[in-house]
Every structure is written in structure tokens, then in C-alpha cells.
Structure 1
Amino acid sequence: METIAKGKINIGLMIPYKREDGLHEIRSVFVPISFGDPMKIQITANTNSPDSEIHLTSENYLHGYRHSKFEEVSERGDFTRNLLYKAFQKISAHLREPVSISIYLKKYLPPEGGIGGGSSNAGLFLKEIFPWTQLSKEEEISLAKSVGADVPFFLQSSPCFVSGIGEVLEPITVSQGTGILAIPPFGLSTASMYAGLQKSLQKPYGSQVWKSLAEDLIRSLQVGDWAYLQNRLENEFEKIAFQTQPLLKELKLGFYESGAVYASLSGSGSCFYGIYPSDRERDEALSIVSNRFPDMEFRTFSF
């Protein structure tokens, strides 16, 4: 099987409270995008051993410190720290028979970017190996969640309204779109971003305000009314990101000044994106923002 482990963008991200288990409750819309990591996965019965085994061959196309960061968890470093290996460890006990797994990966999705990274790789791998098990859909989601909070989303193929810590998924329709992704030369630590929110510890509760609000927002997503969504679906992490890295605030302004109809931080960052009315306007904007922010890496995407 050869395909692309797609990245994702967050359209809106609210963190209503910190849960009793120490994790944070979220409300967001996750949208898979065309930009991602090409992966080739081969799974065969392992007739030569009673144990399953996994082998990774990767090409690292990341830049700056992220290149070294991936090397540390690639097959050239300590592969046991890679989410692919952690997913393999979790699934091994559930396989109907020992298997030999070979994965070929071209790495473009940046770590510490808020667009999926390793979670996308792990999700695609699990999606391909689940047929070798007898797990129920609920058990598959539970196992994916144990690998990483975002991993359950990458078992899906459609945009989702996301709650819980990322494992409660409701597929929704989002109008087709096109955009530019900015990959800054710095990352933002997910742990420090959550700590910066200083959310109080609360027992779980249903967010009826978000639910009632979501009906209008989801209708706007379905028709691509980005102007309506501009000040209504916001990423709560932006206020911390702008304090930590003021360049990101300037980048958001740069996206809007170049014609974006919606711009936002993705996840806890540091990647930022702008959505444009058409491919032509996106391509014109790409030249503008590339010249204005020469230290940024920019990628176009669609959804």
C-alpha cells in the first residue's frame, strides 16, 4: 500500500477546561490536507519467526532543527521513540498471526508544528494493520488514543468535529478549499502551550454553548463562508503563541494582507495557515508572503 499520511489543520480550537486525569478537553474542527508524508507499507505473514517485526526506511526532507529532531527517532537514531514503533508495540498483542512490516517514509510533516506529524504516520499505519486483528471499532479508537491524542483522527478520511482529548470524532462536511501553510524555523512545545493557558481543573461537562454555536459554524464550513468564520472560530492558543513568538502575529496579518479569507495557528503551533478564494489568488499570495517572510518555509495545500 502506497499513499500519503496527510497532515491536518485546526479550524478553531477551544480548550474549555483541564480534566481530572490531567489532560485538557478540546473543541475543534480537524481537516485533513493534501500536504503530508508519502508512505509505503508492506505487511506480510512472518513464517520465519514467532514474533512480529517492523522495519523503517526513511528519507528526511525536514529543515533546520527539525531535521535533527526526526533523525533522533528515525531508524538512524532510536526508532523505539518513534510513534510508528509505539503503535507497533500496542498492536502486536492483537495480531492474529506474526507479521513482518516494512515501512518506507518520506518525511515532510514537521514535528512541533500542530499539523499531525508523527500522529499522521501512526494513524495511517494502524489503519492498514487493523484488518490483521479482530479488534472492534471502539477498541481500535481506544488503542489509537493510547498512542497519541490526535492519532484517532488519522484513522478517518473526512473532516471531523473533535472533542474529548481528540478521540471523540463526529464527521462533518467542509467546503473544498486551498491554502498556504507556513512552517516557521522554530517550534512551540505543546506542554508549555497548555501550561500557558492555565485552565482550571474541572469535572467533565457538556459544552452546550459550543454545541449551539457549532450549528451556525458548521453550516458556514459546509458552504465555505470564511468571512463569517473569521472572528467566530479562533484558536485559543494564538494569544500565547503571539506572546512567545511575535513573528506569528505579523505572519497572520501578512496572510490577510495578501488576500487570505481565513488565517489561523494550527493546533498548538507553530505552523500557521491562510485559506484563499482560489488557486490563482493563493499562488499570487505565495510570492508575497515568501518575500515578506524569507526565513519561513511555505507549502501550498488543498482540502
Structure 2
Amino acid sequence: MLTKTHAKINIGLVIPYKREDGLHEIRSVFVPIDFGDPMEIQIESLPKGNESRFEFHSVNHLQGYRHDLFEAVSERGDLSRNILAKSFAKLKPHFKTPIQITIHLEKFLPPEGGIGGGSSNAGVFLRHFFPYTNLNPEEQIVLAKSIGADVPFFLQSSPCFVSGIGEVLEPISVAKGFGILAIPPFGLSTGSMYAGLQKSLQKPYGSEVWKSLAEDLIRSLHVGDWAYLQNRLENEFEKIAFQTQPLLKELKLGFFESGADFASLSGSGSCLYGIYKAEGKRNEALPNVSHRFPNMEFRTFSF
């Protein structure tokens, strides 16, 4: 079967506190976009008494240092570090009958981008193979979360209001949108970005905007009033990212100057995106931002 593991963008991201388990509580809107990694999945039943097996083949389309990052965890490097191999290893004890899994992946989603590249690969993989196990829905979420905080989101395909560490999902309605994704030639480490926030241990507190999205925000997401959302759903990581890489602040300004109604860092970065009112307006903006930031890779997307 052929599928695609889609990236996500964050529309707003707040980290209210650090949890007692050492992880960080988040509040965000995750939206899947149509930019992703094509994946071909082949499944073959094996005779009883055999062990389930995993085989992986990939084409690396990444640029710069990210090309080397993926090579290091591909079948040409140490495959045991690959998130799909890790996902298979966690599923293996739960398969009802032994199977041979062969994956062919074309890698476009950048690591260290904040758009869920590896998590998307893992989530789609798990979604296809959970039916071959005896795991119930609760156990499936626990297993997905053990692979990565964003992986549970990629078990489904709807925009969601996300809380917890990324595993508490509330599907929401989001209008169709057209955007440009900028992939900088540098990454931002998720761990160092969280450390930079210096969040203290706190008990959960109620923020009405994020606990259950306020009515006007829900309406704006539903109708695509991106300009209204711009100063209301902000990504808390931006203040650190813009200090670490000032070019990102210029890039966000560049999106607005090209006509974007909403622009934001995605996740903990380094990818940054702009959303436009219409597909035509987005397409007109692409050559402008590409010319202004020649060292960036740009991808158009929709959702």
C-alpha cells in the first residue's frame, strides 16, 4: 500500500509549566498539512514459529546537514536508531501472527524542524500495524507516547487542540488554508529550546483560552480568520528562537511583508511558516520570499 506521512504545523504553542515527571505540559493547535514523506508498506505473512521481521529502504531527499542526520539513522547507518525500527521493536511482542514488514520511504520532512517529521513516520506506521496486534486503544496511545510525545497525534488525521505532553487530543474544525513553509539551513534542538524556557515545577492551572479554546478563537479557526488569530495564538518558543537565530525574526517579518495573514514558528523550530488568504496570493508571495531569503528552502502547502 502507498501512503504519505504528513507534517504538522502549530497554530499557537504555550508551555504553561514543567511537570513532575520532567516533561513539559503544552497547549497548542496541531494542523496536518499536505507536505510529507511518501511511504510504501509491504506486508507478508510468515509461517507460525517464525519471528516478525522488519526491512527498511529509503531515498534521502534532505539537504545540508539534515541529509547526514538522516543517513546516520537510515539503513546505510545505524538502523536501530531509526524511529520506524524502534516502533517495530515495540510492536513486535504484540503481533497476533508473525509478519514480514518492508518499508520504502522517501525522506523530505526535515529533522529538527518542529513539523513532526519522525513522529509522523512513526504515527502512520503504528496506525497501519496496530490492527495486527491485540492492543486496545488505551494501550495503543501509551505505546505511541513512549516513542515520542507527538506520535499520538499522527495516529489520526484531524486538526486537534493538543494538551498534556502531546497525547491529549480534541479534534477541532479548521478552515482550509494555504501556506509557505520555510526550512532553514540550521536546526534548533528541542531539548535546548525547552531548557531555554526555564519553566519551574507548577501545579496545573486553568487558562480559559487554552483549557478549552475561547469561542472567538474557535470561530476564527473554523472560518480561517488568520489575521485575528495572529496576536492571540502565539508560539512561546519564538522568543528563544529569535535570540538564537535572528534570521528567523527577519523571516517572520518577510512573510508579513509578502502578504501573509498569519506567520509563526512551528513547534520548537526551526521551520517557520506563513498562511495566506488565498492560494493565488500564496503563489504570488513565494518568489518574493524565495528571493529575499536565498539560503532557505521553501515549500508550499495547504490544509
Q: What's the C-alpha RMSD, in Å, of the aligned pairs?
A: 1.1
Give 1:278 shift. Answer: 1.1
* AA matched with 1:45: S
Matched, 1:297 2:300: no
Instruction: Please state whether the residue corresponding to 2:239 is helix, strand or coil.
Output: helix
TM-score, normalised via structure 2 length: 0.98
Give 1:209 shift. Answer: 4.8
- Cross-structure match for 1:276: 276
- Cross-structure match for 1:160: 160
Give 1:190 shift. Answer: 0.2
Deviations along 1:175-232, whole A, 9 cap, x unmatched? Answer: 0001000000000000000000000112344444523553321221001011110100
- Cross-structure match for 1:211: 211
Q: Distance in 2 between matches of 1:5 and 1:212?
A: 28
- Cross-structure match for 2:250: 250
- Cross-structure match for 1:103: 103
Question: Which deviates more from structure 2 when the two are superposed, residues 205-214 or residues 144-153?
Answer: 205-214
Instruction: Please state whether the residue corresponding to 1:42 is helix, strand or coil.
Output: strand
Q: Distance in 2 between matches of 1:251 and 1:214?
A: 29
Q: Distance in 2 between matches of 1:77 and 1:129?
A: 25
- Cross-structure match for 2:58: 58
- Cross-structure match for 1:35: 35
- Cross-structure match for 2:132: 132
Identity %, equivalent residues: 75
Q: Distance in 2 between matches of 1:289 and 1:183?
A: 12
Give 1:136 shift. Answer: 1.2
Q: Distance in 2 between matches of 1:255 and 1:67?
A: 26
* AA matched with 2:191: A
Give the number of aligned pairs: 303
Q: Distance in 1 between matches of 2:184 and 2:153?
A: 24
Equivalent residues of 2:208, 2:214 under 8 A apart = no
Equivalent residues of 2:26, 2:164 under 8 A apart = yes
* AA matched with 1:133: T
Q: Distance in 2 between matches of 1:277 and 1:29?
A: 19
- Cross-structure match for 1:67: 67
Q: Distance in 2 between matches of 1:93 and 1:197?
A: 38
Q: Distance in 2 between matches of 1:240 and 1:62?
A: 25
- Cross-structure match for 1:88: 88
User: Tell me, which stretches of 5 or more residues in structure 1 are unaligned?
Assistant: none
Give 1:79 shift. Answer: 0.7
- Cross-structure match for 2:22: 22
* AA matched with 2:260: A
Instruction: Please state whether the residue corresponding to 1:93 is helix, strand or coil.
Output: helix
5 and 212 in structure 1: CA distance in 2 versus 1, 3 angstrom threshold: closer
Runs of 4+ more than 4 Å apart? none
* AA matched with 2:280: R
Deviations along 1:6-32, whole A, 9 cap, x unmatched? Answer: 000000000000000000000000000
Matched, 1:189 2:189: yes
Deviations along 1:144-167, whole A, 9 cap, x unmatched? Answer: 000100000000110000000000
- Cross-structure match for 2:169: 169
* AA matched with 2:184: P
204 and 91 in structure 1: CA distance in 2 versus 1, 3 angstrom threshold: farther
Q: Distance in 1 between matches of 2:115 and 2:291?
A: 24
Give 1:128 shift. Answer: 0.3
Matched, 1:77 2:77: yes
Give 1:273 shift. Answer: 0.3
Deviations along 1:35-87, whole A, 9 cap, x unmatched? Answer: 00000111221227621111111000000000000000000000110110111
Instruction: Please state whether the residue corresponding to 2:242 is helix, strand or coil.
Output: helix
Q: Distance in 1 between matches of 2:133 and 2:205?
A: 34
User: Tell me, which stretches of 5 or more residues in structure 2 are unaligned?
Assistant: none
* AA matched with 1:80: S
